[in-house]
Amino acid sequence: MNIQESAISQEPTFRQSVDLMFNRAVALMDLPPGLEEKIRVCNATYTVRFGVRLRGQITTFTGYRSVHSDHMEPVKGGIRFAMAVNQDEVEALAALMTYKCALVETPFGGSKGGLRIDPREYDEHELELITRRFAYELIKRDMINPAQNVPAPDMGTSEREMAWMADQYARMNTTDINSRACVTGKPLNSGGISGRVEATGRGVQYALREFFRHPEDVAKSGLEGSLEGKRVVVQGLGNVGFHAAKFLSEEDGAIITGIVERDGGLWRDEGLDIDGVHDWISRHGGVAGYPEGTHVADGNLLMEEPCDILIPAAVEGVINLANAENIKARLIIEAANGPVTYGADEILRNKGVVIIPDMYANAGGVTVSYFEWVKNLSHIRFGRMQRRQEEARHQLVVDELERLVTVTNSGLTLSPGFKDKYLRGADELELVRSGLDDTMRIAYQSMREKWHSREEVQDLRVAAYLVAIERVAASYRAKGL
Ligand code: NAD
């Protein structure tokens, strides 16, 4: 056991950590004790063990699906494939899904699933057999179902696994016209939606943009100005970390000085080329050997290097009692779920570090999953009916402007590029990004309102819990238990 592992072992478990954070918020509320308990506890966790014949012998796998709260149905939450998956983790993640969905106003309860497996040990065909078998076990108990429980990708799973699960559901429910809505995060050709793959990283970018729109909030972190030139360290260059780092560096002028991966870290003062590093990881399985920057064997040490923004985007518990004191970033945005333990959270708050909490920071995924689910239920791509009509109306305006320029002989001209930009009707990707941006802005504003309106609310995490718990409580009150 290394120093970090031994420090973590003295800390509450992930689920206890989430509960403790919940308790900090409910202490500031006036909920009836029974209702408080009802919201906190996880409703049910299903554990399944199943065998798959692989390489001439039967291998037994263990999987979980937790439903934390079904105050709204379907319940929603990703399915993770990793060796560290266990009941405590799945229940913590399911609870976070309940609060996240409430905070960003997606009409779902909270759920999460996981399979104890190292997906890198199996080839594609084997993974398909395993995923379909796990899906079969969940489908026959309505734990994958468009009206009741809708999974999505998480660590170790992607569009590919979602397509297998959706197909498995369709084979077992041949007359369900809404079968495609049984999981989200599917490829476009299997009922997916444009922009879902990038959604969580894109949401991290929109969250940071919104934070930097409020100078008062930025000042609380000790930073100033905009995202331009901010020095950023990212842990985990997977789906979420890669997209966040790519968009922040390419579109907002942030400089990604550090990347931490399983096999070490990379550092480059002038900034790392995100596409280059990502491509290298895909080809070589890690960051070691990447020609630019300095390779550091103990990558986690890079999280302690001076930077403005730290983006943990890998696993839970990586900022803990062992390293919290050494963190120098002024702003942490929790792209991963639960990266900061309860104890570390307190240390960082005392140091004046601002933490944008997971339930908000990585809600882009579930937001676009919601759009995908709605698309599947409505059986039509967003924008299909309006796009050309919108373009025709814009054409009318442009024609009229050009006519006025001619008849008044004013010599005025339209700005270069205006016509093309204005005439183009929004396609599905633009609509999805617009809906996501709107969601991230509104949710941030609901948190900051709590943060600034009461002195006892000292951080965004408690503010986020307050907003979420109030909404879940209102839902229980309205419909009864
Ligand atoms: P992923 O499997 O695509 O990527 C995870 C990355 O982290 C990989 O590159 C992996 O090598 C790296 N990694 C794993 N353990 C590490 C460690 N100890 N140190 C450094 N790097 C490590 O997973 P993802 O989908 O990007 O998910 C990352 C986090 O974001 C998880 O906490 C997940 O729950 C959360 N999240 C994901 C989504 C989504 O839409 N995928 C949505 C919300 C939240």
CATH number for the domain that contains residue 252: 3.40.50.720
**What number is the average pLDDT over the span 76-84?**
98
149, 75 in Cβ contact below 8 A?
yes
Q: In what order do the strands lie in the sheet with 75-82?
A: 44-54, 57-69, 109-116, 75-82, 149-153
Please, which pLDDT band fits residue 235 given cuts at 50, 70 and 90? Answer: very high
Catalytic residues: 112
Residues 238 and 160 reside in one and the same domain: no
- Could you say which of 168, 190, 212 is where a domain stops? 190
Q: Is the CB of 238 under 6 A from ligand 1?
A: yes
Q: 477 CA to middle of ligand 1, Å?
A: 36
Instruction: Write down the mean pLDDT value for the chain.
Output: 96
Q: What is the pLDDT of residue 411?
A: 86
318 domain-assigned: yes
pLDDT at 1 over 60: no
Residues 228 and 186 reside in one and the same domain: no
For ligand 1, atom 4: residue with the closest CA: 238
Q: What is the pLDDT of residue 3?
A: 53
Please, which pLDDT band fits residue 225 given cuts at 50, 70 and 90? Answer: very high
Residues 49 and 186 reside in one and the same domain: yes
Q: Residues 105-140: pLDDT tens digits?
A: 999 999 999 999 999 999 999 999 999 999 999 999
Residues 51 and 182 reside in one and the same domain: yes
Q: What is the pLDDT of residue 2?
A: 57
102 domain-assigned: yes
The total number of structural domains that make up the chain: 2
For ligand 1, atom 43: residue with the closest CA: 362
**Which percentage of the chain shows pLDDT scores above 90?**
94
270 domain-assigned: yes
Residues 109 and 226 reside in one and the same domain: no
User: CATH number of the domain that 127 lies in?
Assistant: 3.40.50.10860
Q: Residues 383-411: pLDDT tens digits?
A: 999 999 999 999 999 999 999 999 998 88
Q: Residues 142-188: pLDDT tens digits?
A: 999 999 999 999 999 999 999 999 999 999 999 999 999 999 999 99
Q: 301 CA to middle of ligand 1, Å?
A: 18
14, 101, 106, 154, best to mutate for ligand 1 pocket (most atoms within 8 Å of CB): 154
Q: Which of 163, 174, 113, 158 is nearest to 138 (CA)?
A: 113
For ligand 1, atom 29: residue with the closest CA: 336
Q: Is the CB of 235 under 6 A from ligand 1?
A: yes
381 domain-assigned: no
Q: 313 CA to middle of ligand 1, Å?
A: 6
**What number is the average pLDDT over the span 72-78?**
97
Considering Cα of 322, then 327, then 333, then 335, what sign does the dihedral take?
Answer: negative
Please, which pLDDT band fits residue 453 given cuts at 50, 70 and 90? Answer: very high
Q: Residues 460-469: pLDDT tens digits?
A: 999 999 999 9
94 domain-assigned: yes
Q: What is the pLDDT of residue 10?
A: 81
Residues 230 and 159 reside in one and the same domain: no
pLDDT at 413 over 90: no
**What number is the average pLDDT over the span 445-461?**
96
455 domain-assigned: no
104, 367 in Cβ contact below 8 A?
yes
- Domain range for residue 64? 44-190
- Could you say which of 190, 210, 231 is where a domain stops? 190
334 domain-assigned: yes
Q: Is the CB of 162 under 6 A from ligand 1?
A: no
Buried b (16+ CB within 10 A) or exposed e, 221-252: bebeebbeebbbbbbbbbbbbbbbbbbbbeeb
Q: Is the CB of 159 under 6 A from ligand 1?
A: no
96 domain-assigned: yes
- Could you say which of 332, 352, 372 is where a domain stops? 352
d(CA 17, CA 19): 5
Q: What is the pLDDT of residue 9?
A: 65
Q: 422 CA to middle of ligand 1, Å?
A: 38
